[in-house]
Structure 1
Amino acid sequence: MNDIINLISAFILIPAILFIFTFAVAKYALKKRKKSIGIAADITTFLLFFSVSIVFNIVFDKEIGFLIIIIAILIATLLTILEWRSKKEIEVQSLLRKIWRLFFILLCVTYALLWLIGVIRYVLKYIS
């Protein structure tokens, strides 16, 4: 049981591990690189919601999980309105894929920035 908990913890703290693992499995099963990247991004996005919240808590000692969910809902609402105004008829599956992939990009960038800030803070604390 501890092995499973340790594996989940590693995936949460370093979601790139899950991305690479999922990509490798999907690439082996599907033999299609682009589709495999999409599947890996979709699975990793779910985990990034938790990872960003946890890393933010570690770096700044503040909880933002609920704020991330509210921002995600606002972004999804805004994209839905923009899609509706441009096409008048919304393709739900296509819209959800766009929203989910946008979340992947935003959360990856946020995660990387938080890690960079955390490392800089740790180095500055160590130096002084």
Structure 2
Amino acid sequence: MVNVLSVFVIYPIVVFLVVFLFCKFILQKRKKSIGIASDISTFFLYFSVTNLFSFVFLKEVGWYLVIFSIILATIITYLEWRSKKEIEVIPLLRKIWRLLFLLLCCLYAFLWLFGVIRYVLAYIS
């Protein structure tokens, strides 16, 4: 069981694909399946980005990532409040969570690519 969870943390794209295919098979709705898969894989992206960053740069950023997420959620909540005056909690949380998914995916891809290039160059020289 621990091995399966560690694969999900190391490769969050596996979580996304497994959940997407499962939901697509059950729900038969592509858009809803993508939403559910991104919601679930965001949780695993937190851990994988933290581990990948510490592996590549040898620095811990777990708490910085949490603090960044809280600040981002505060800014989005403030902007939502300024535009609508009446905040709907569930759509706001979904918007924040999906934005975090996009940001964490980009950060994960950048760190992965940077780490591969760095270690290939270290191996060559």
Q: Scaled by the length of structure 1, what TM-score is found? A: 0.96
Structure 1: which amino acid aligns with 2:119? Y
Matched, 1:10 2:7: yes
Separation of aligned partners in 2, 1:35 and 1:122: 38
2: distance between equivalents of 1:48 and 1:110?
9
Equivalent position amino acid for 1:65 in 2:
G
Correspondence 1:45 to 2:42: yes
- Provide the secondary structure at the position in 1 that maps to 2:86: coil
2-side partners of 1:105 and 1:96: how far apart? 14
* Off by >4 Å, runs of 4+ in structure 1: none
Question: Which ranges of structure 2 fall in alignment gaps of 5 or more residues?
Answer: none
> How far is the alpha carbon of 1:6 from its aligned partner?
1.0
Counterpart in the other structure of 1:72: 69
Per-residue CA deviation, residues 55-107 of structure 1 (Å, 9 max, x unaligned), is 00110011000000000000000000000000000011110010000000000
Identity fraction in percent? 59
> 1:109 maps to which residue?
106
| Structure 2 equivalent of residue 55 of structure 1 | 52
Write the distance in 2 (CA, Å) between the matches of 1:6 and 1:117: 25
Structure 1: which 5+ runs fail to align? Answer: none
Residue type at the aligned position of 1:28: F
State how far apart, in whole Å, the 2-side matches of 1:54 and 1:103 are. 17
